[in-house]
Chains A and B, each alone.
Chain A
């Protein structure tokens, strides 16, 4: 069955420190992968996506993610975290069949930033 696992429920980092959020997926075919961010009480904003090609993808707000097929992972990274990055982060895989598709999400990782 298709699934997404985000092993870390809550992570706290100091402002200016580097960040890595983990995501593992289970999907039979070549996955389409996404990272979304959700601020409290808000909808989801797309940070970045991987469809094909270069396995290191750049997103908005200085985020990047690396697709590693051998590890079934798509970890999100940022070299220097800002206080405004505090939010919940969701990894998702696109479950596509033919022309149709929907997203399967992980349970999310809540990021707190210490001053």
Chain B
């Protein structure tokens, strides 16, 4: 049973560029949540997708957007990258909208220069 997978594992971008990160949920899960973990901090909730819609959003600007596909996989897009966007981006999957336990992927490490 495959767990949560994310791609790419590492990414280097320059300020002003755009980036897309990808996540495949654990088998049987239909909900995907994205978190940003800055160095030395705990993860912070970005948004959550369920039934192909953004259902909840944390305190992140509109530069952060996402999508969920019919197979429940998800993308996180960040436009106009800032140096402060450098972080580990974690995807978590769960069942039924987020009340159930969330299982995390290994993350994508983004460095913005």
Contacts and interface: CB of A to CB of B under 8 A. Distances in A.
Contacts of A100: 48, 50, 55-56, 97-99
A42 B43 CA distance: 13
B107 interface: yes
Interface of B: 4, 6, 33, 35, 40-45, 48, 50, 55-56, 58, 90, 92, 96-99, 101-107, 109
Interface string A64-106: 0000000000000000000000000010101010011111111
Contacts of B40: 107
Contacts, number: 66
Given A36-B104, A43-B107, A101 B98 contact: yes
B2 to A, nearest CB: 14
Given A102-B58, A105-B42, A46 B98 contact: no
Nearest to A104: B45
9 contacts: A44-B92, A46-B103, A49-B101, A100-B48, A100-B56, A101-B97, A103-B43, A105-B35, A105-B42
Given A103-B45, A105-B44, A43 B97 contact: no
